[in-house]
Amino acid sequence: MLALSQTRLLPQTMLRANAFRRCFLNRLRSLTKLVVSKKYDSNKIKNKLHIMFQKKSLGQNFLTSTKIVDDIVVASGVTKNETVLEVGPGRGTLTSALLARGAQVVAVEKDDRLIPELQEKYPSEIKSGQLVLIHGDIMETSLEKIVTRPYRLIANIPYYITGQLIRLFLETNYNPTSMTLLVQKEVADRIIARDNKESLLSLSIKAYGTPTYVRTVGRGSFSPAPTVDSAVIDIDSISKQRFGNILEKEFFEILHAGFAHKRKQLVSNLSSLYPREIIIHACEKLGLNQKCRAEDIDVNTWFTLCTLLNKKTS
């Protein structure tokens, strides 16, 4: 059976390999023509070479629109001499705009091939200390060792680590004052609860800060173009002040229980943690309909509800 499966897959594998080879050769020919005709500059060659060898494993979609870059910088509210942590500077499109704004930039880049290019592009900024370039994975980096507080987080992040990265910077004790991010449009819609229905994602973010949908970003604003549209979101006023009356762990335990079964009513879901009569009494005190669902409750009411339930059982 194994040999048969391999035989069936072989033609498909060969087709994919041949398609890649043709694409590679076509791009190589175009580079050769530029060199022979001498109608080129070093930056153009670098651009074409990097497009040829972009790492799919890193989810690389480089932002190319200067208009979008300007909108991100404006939305972030960054001012001169403020510290900005930029995750994934790529080829420096956003980095240049932040430096021009007068920000002190700490840029963390995972792709080792981009580090020399960035060093070559910003020699004076690196020498003066306005730009600190770090080669590493932000998910494995100790924040307090690379950036001083207060700082803002600004990034065009790979879609596959969006949730992990947002969680990292909200839950850490070294969190930023704001986060301005390029994310998948569908995710941005969920974060701000565009349909007026909350989710675990939207409430988890609103527990720490205030998210705003800045603008939609079309696929053509990136190279290579992603398969979906993106959006800029800004999460402002980030802090842990809401957790004055309840621990983070306790709040999220209750929140997760409330969303455990989406089609079930809140009282039924929370019954896994508390006696039904205590839940009903807390809902009545807050003026909540006993038939409401977790998605119908805003973040302020959730904090009050969690505090009430916690006090009733402590």
pLDDT tens per residue across span 110-144? 999 999 999 999 999 999 999 999 999 999 999 99
Are the beta carbons of 98 and 72 closer than 8 angstroms? no
Cα 89 from Cα 51, distance rounded (Å)? 16
Name residue 109's beta-bridge partners.
135
The token pair at 95 is: 């980095």
Q: Per-residue b/e over 299-311, b at no fewer than 16 CB within 10 Å? A: bebbbbbbbbbbe
Q: What percent of the chain has pLDDT over 70?
A: 80
Task: Place 29 in a pLDDT band, splitting at 50, 70 and 90.
Answer: low
Cα 283 from Cα 314, distance rounded (Å)? 18
pLDDT digits (tens, 9 = 90+) for 247-275: 999 999 999 999 999 889 999 999 999 99
Residue 98 has pLDDT above 60, yes or no: yes
Cα 185 from Cα 188, distance rounded (Å)? 5
Which pLDDT score is estimated for 2? 34
Residue with tokens 């409750």: 297
Which pLDDT score is estimated for 72? 97
Cα 194 from Cα 202, distance rounded (Å)? 10
Which pLDDT score is estimated for 139? 93
Residue 32 has pLDDT above 80, yes or no: no
Residue (of 100, 78, 75) closest to 233 by Cα position: 75
Cα 256 from Cα 239, distance rounded (Å)? 21
Task: Place 314 in a pLDDT band, splitting at 50, 70 and 90.
Answer: low
Pairing mode, if any, of strands 178-184 and 230-236?
antiparallel
Residues in the chain: 314
Strands of the chain, DSSP E: 62-63, 83-87, 104-109, 131-135, 152-156, 178-184, 210-217, 222-223, 230-236
pLDDT digits (tens, 9 = 90+) for 197-237: 999 999 999 999 999 999 999 999 988 888 899 999 999 99
Residue 90, SS3 per DSSP: coil
The token pair at 163 is: 């949730």
Are the beta carbons of 81 and 103 closer than 8 angstroms? yes
For the segment 74-100, the average pLDDT, to the nearest whole number, is: 96
Residue (of 81, 83, 107) closest to 93 by Cα position: 107
**Phi and psi at residue 102, to the nearest 5°:** 95, 10
Question: Does the bond joining 224 to the residue before it have cis omega, within 30 degrees of 0?
Answer: yes
Give 153's DSSP letter.
E
Residue 35 has pLDDT above 60, yes or no: no
For the segment 186-201, the average pLDDT, to the nearest whole number, is: 95
Are the beta carbons of 85 and 153 closer than 8 angstroms? yes
Provide Rg for the chain, Cα atoms: 24
Which pLDDT score is estimated for 21? 54
**Phi and psi at residue 85, to the nearest 5°:** -100, 115
pLDDT digits (tens, 9 = 90+) for 294-307: 999 999 999 999 99
Q: Which of 98-102, 190-194, 223-227 has the lowest mean pLDDT?
A: 223-227
pLDDT digits (tens, 9 = 90+) for 151-179: 999 998 788 899 999 999 999 999 999 99
Query: Mean pLDDT in the chain?
Result: 86
pLDDT digits (tens, 9 = 90+) for 40-81: 555 555 554 444 445 444 446 889 999 999 999 999 999 999
Angle value at C-alpha 46, between 16 and 53, nearest 5 degrees: 25
